[in-house]
Structure 1
Amino acid sequence: MPIGVEELRRVELFAELDDAVLARLAQRTREVRHAEGEDLVSAGAPASHFLLLLEGEAQPIQPHRGVDLSERRNVAPTYMGAISLLTERDWTVSMRATTPCVVGELPAADFLELVHTERSVERGAVRAMLDTIQRVEALVQRQDKLAALGTLSAGLAHELNNPAAAARRTVESLAEALETVQSTLGAFVESGVERLQAERLVALQREAVARAARAEVLDVLDASAREDAMTERLEALGVQEPWTVAEPLAAACLDAAWLDEVAASAGPASEAALRWVAASLTAQGLADELRESTERISALVGAVKEYSYMDQGAEQEVDVHLGLESTLTILGHKLDTGTLEVIRDYDRDLPRLSAHGSELNQVWTNLLDNAVDALAGSGTLTITTRTGREGRVEVEIADTGPGIPDEIRSRVFDPFFTTKGVGEGTGLGLESARRIVVDRHRGTLELDSDSSGTRARVSLPSSG
């Protein structure tokens, strides 16, 4: 069925055209119908026609990824393809029908002639290009932030889980140890322990704690042998289930003379006294473990604040080493696998930068994450900082991975280009990193890759 003049006039771009021009366009436009789910055009296809969406809705789809590129659907009456035709480029996205669609296909030559002869169409096409560019820029910035947030949250969840789980186990064990300590007083009273005996037992308990603090850490075999010897001595003293208290007493290097003195001072309450001392030693060790866990959690929170530059202004004086280290902390769950080695070759005399700290940390995250993925759990990751020409700050992140294949090396900075599987990468990492370095910080980002690995070099102007 032929397309009528009134159908074309409903398209905003053609609203100011007279009937004669519209009638000529209608004669040149071919009607095509698409079912829901069909592609009106595919990414990578030559831009041979200007598309007029006369009925239905269509959605831009990122090539090969199945990801929406726009928050809004294209709803008829509207048009598509102006940017590809005006820039003489292939379609960069697929347009998929989300409802049954009626599309008018106007040959590229007729559209370009129209743009050159009709001022209103030229203005409308340029305005549409600017709107599209702004939407894509906003999308890319949003994707950058979501990607960085995803890396941050995944790393933080993994890193926090270990100390949090350790703290939880420690608290449970600590409660048991404290219960033993608290019950000892009743056992002493029931056994008739006198004041002088109690004072001596307290002194022996303090001696045990002091010995434990000075004790050297033994290897597994020596520790096991000492624990077996302690179990035999406790069994000789009549302690029930001696293995339950042997480990902390043996670790504190308590000898037969100390055990005999406890038995002499406690009398019938000897087992209670030994369990009390063992519980005290355990509680002390658990308190140390709990402190280590909470310090680890505190350090992670500090790393997150450093990473995100929380509570700081948009631009500030930045030490690149702090940003690199906080990023390494966030990525710790990926670094603590296999035989991956991290080498830091830092020039601590580097000048500070006047920069957007959180954005630079996105750069370090993208570059380090790519390097770690390239190593696949084995190899060397080297981070080098140095002063470059004209006092610039240079950061190099090098891996000993297989390198970037020659056939894709020229495309690694293209938006949405990725070699990772669906759901594993957005294809925005390197493009985002270059945009932050070059556009936001007047720097440079270069990649050098061969069969020995890949080296990413960032050069930034210093504050001085």
Structure 2
Amino acid sequence: MKISVDHLHKIPDFSTVPDDQLQWLIDHSHLQKYNIGDFSFEKGDAIDSLFIVLKGQIAIKIKQNGNYKFVSYINTNTIGGLLPFSRAQSALGYGEVTEDTELLILEKSFFKEMIAKHYELTESLVHNMTSRVREFTKNNLQSEKMMALGKLSAGLAHELNNPASAMLRSAKALKKHLSHVPEKFKRIISIQATNEEIDIVNNLLFDKITNRPENNMSLIERNEKEDQLEDWLENHNVTNAYELTETLLDFCIDVSAIKSIHKEIGAKSFPTTIEWIENVLTTEKMVDEIEEASDRISNLVQSVKSYTHMDQTPEKVATDIHTGIKSTLTMLNHKLKQKGIIIKKQFQDNLIAPKIFVSEINQVWTNLIDNAIDAMDHGGTLTIITTKDDGDFIKIEIIDNGKGISKEHINAVFDPFFTTKSIGKGTGMGLEVVQRIINQHNGSIKVTSTKGETIFTVCLPIN
């Protein structure tokens, strides 16, 4: 293929570069051809030359646990490889040729002459580098956010499904339960009760509903009390005793309490009265279940709002760091419960609120806590400690008792695309994004790890 200055002018970055400088580029470069299936570069190869794709296409891929993951394409008229003033040293991934490709390659040894004598050409390449870095950063930050969002959405859907299902079950049960009320009401008004007897029943119900006692009975103790209560009720002419015992014991109405009701009401009215008491308490219990499920959904929605900070402007604001950590734990609660993780929160009281970008810092907690969960076996312990250090920083330590990070990997954990997770479980960008966000806040992050204890320490400036 014969390359000309006119050909290079079709490349947007070179549109304003003088002809003599483009001719210099052509004269000092060489052509390299690749066939479909070839690799133009592989992971670990030295980045020691600039290349221009004259025709064809190269797919950039990274390898994770023996599998290739697609990142992006390098298409015709795209500039790649080493650029002036770039600090890149070796390839992080692979360049697989997907169409027959021809490259124009300029070796690094010519860069000094280019920088010294060809200003416009150098300037266009530097602009290309800054655009490349900006696009790379934006794409990978978005990719990491989407992965984090996917994890949180799956957990949140599960968390919301439980109370929503509970509400539906309780609502259906309540509807069915209320359909029997007219018949029970008919029986209760047929009782010739005195005002004093009615007051006794009303006072009991009011007391149990407004001051519902805590039921701390063990399973064995409860089973024994249910059997005793059922036997006592059957011996006192209550025909459906087995249907009543569960609700009565939920409100701590056992045999001793039933005896006092029987004494005050009398044997004749007792069966209908105790049935009515159980009916009212059952209604109350179902309403409580619906209320509890509604509160759970409301709290989850509030946690999402707090986590995303979606009702605030995207600027640094003084924020209680504990709020974001708690919201993140709520978002990841499904994974925590799945693995039976024990949470230990050692939060310093009255900790000074640093000025932060709230949603970005919450992404830091998400990545660090999610990684900690993945590193631990079932029943692990996650410890989160917040303190103010001796200077003008607050310190947050996220500690897990998992398998740890090996010595050969610990220095690479913040590198782009580095991950020990399998394809689909990690982008290799999580900790790189974390470090970038912390740097954006003029803070610091470091990691120490041994088997059974990995500590990520984040320091954020107060001012």
Determine if the TM-score, normalized by the shorter chain, exceeds 0.5.
yes
Partner of 2:445: 445
Distance between the aligned counterparts of 2:2 and 2:196, measured in 1? 105
The alignment partner of 1:378 has SS state of coil
The alignment partner of 1:3 has SS state of coil
- Per-residue deviation, residues 52-91 of structure 1 (Å, max 9, x unmatched): 3233333333444754544xx4432333324399546223
- Per-residue deviation, residues 151-170 of structure 1 (Å, max 9, x unmatched): 43233223222222222222
Partner of 2:2: 3
Structure 1 gap ranges (5+):
none
Partner of 1:41: 41
Paired letter, 2:355? S
Partner of 2:204: 207
The alignment partner of 2:411 has SS state of helix
The alignment partner of 1:293 has SS state of helix
Structure 1 or 2: larger helix share?
Answer: 1
Partner of 2:165: 165
Distance between the aligned counterparts of 2:344 and 2:19, measured in 1? 70
Q: Given the superposition, is the C-alpha separation of residues 272 and 389 from structure 1 closer, same or farther in structure 2, using an over 3 Å criterion?
A: same
Paired letter, 2:204? E
Q: Over aligned residues, Cα RMSD in angstroms? A: 3.4
Query: In 2, are the aligned partners of 1:156 and 1:330 still within 8 Å (CA)?
Result: yes
Query: In 2, are the aligned partners of 1:11 and 1:78 still within 8 Å (CA)?
Result: no
Query: In 2, are the aligned partners of 1:47 and 1:84 still within 8 Å (CA)?
Result: no
Among all aligned residue pairs of Structure 1 and Structure 2, give the percentage whose two residues are the same amino acid: 28
Partner of 1:408: 409
Query: In 2, are the aligned partners of 1:155 and 1:331 still within 8 Å (CA)?
Result: yes
Distance between the aligned counterparts of 1:334 and 1:416, measured in 2? 24
Compute the displacement of 1:21 (Å).
Answer: 7.3
Partner of 2:258: 255
Partner of 1:242: 241
Query: In 2, are the aligned partners of 1:434 and 1:445 still within 8 Å (CA)?
Result: yes
Matches within 5 A, 1:252-331: 252-253=253-254, 254-256=257-259, 258-259=261-262, 264-266=267-269, 273-313=273-313, 314-331=315-332
Query: In 1, are the aligned partners of 2:401 and 2:454 still within 8 Å (CA)?
Result: yes
Compute the displacement of 1:453 (Å).
Answer: 1.1
Distance between the aligned counterparts of 2:101 and 2:245, measured in 1? 83
Matches within 5 A, 1:3-22: 3-5=2-4, 8-9=7-8, 12=11, 22=23
Figure out how many residues of one structure are paired with residues of the other and give that number: 451
Query: In 1, are the aligned partners of 2:55 and 2:103 still within 8 Å (CA)?
Result: no
Compute the displacement of 1:262 (Å).
Answer: 5.6
Partner of 1:153: 153
Q: TM-score, normalised by structure 2?
A: 0.84
Distance between the aligned counterparts of 1:20 and 1:317, measured in 2? 52
Partner of 1:59: 59
Compute the displacement of 1:204 (Å).
Answer: 2.7
Distance between the aligned counterparts of 2:397 and 2:273, measured in 1? 61
Distance between the aligned counterparts of 2:129 and 2:217, measured in 1? 71
Distance between the aligned counterparts of 2:399 and 2:388, measured in 1? 17
Distance between the aligned counterparts of 1:437 and 1:118, measured in 2? 38
- Per-residue deviation, residues 381-422 of structure 1 (Å, max 9, x unmatched): 222111212232111112222321001111001112111111
- Per-residue deviation, residues 242-266 of structure 1 (Å, max 9, x unmatched): 3222322344224245357667454
Distance between the aligned counterparts of 2:85 and 2:318, measured in 1? 45
Compute the displacement of 1:447 (Å).
Answer: 1.1
Compute the displacement of 1:48 (Å).
Answer: 5.6
Distance between the aligned counterparts of 2:374 and 2:318, measured in 1? 31
Q: Given the superposition, is the C-alpha separation of residues 201 and 223 from structure 1 closer, same or farther in structure 2, using an over 3 Å criterion?
A: farther
Distance between the aligned counterparts of 2:26 and 2:284, measured in 1? 87
Matches within 5 A, 1:180-191: 180-188=180-188
Q: TM-score, normalised by structure 1?
A: 0.84
Structure 2 gap ranges (5+):
none
Q: Given the superposition, is the C-alpha separation of residues 165 and 206 from structure 1 closer, same or farther in structure 2, using an over 3 Å criterion?
A: farther
- Per-residue deviation, residues 106-153 of structure 1 (Å, max 9, x unmatched): 352576477345444322221211110110121133134323323432
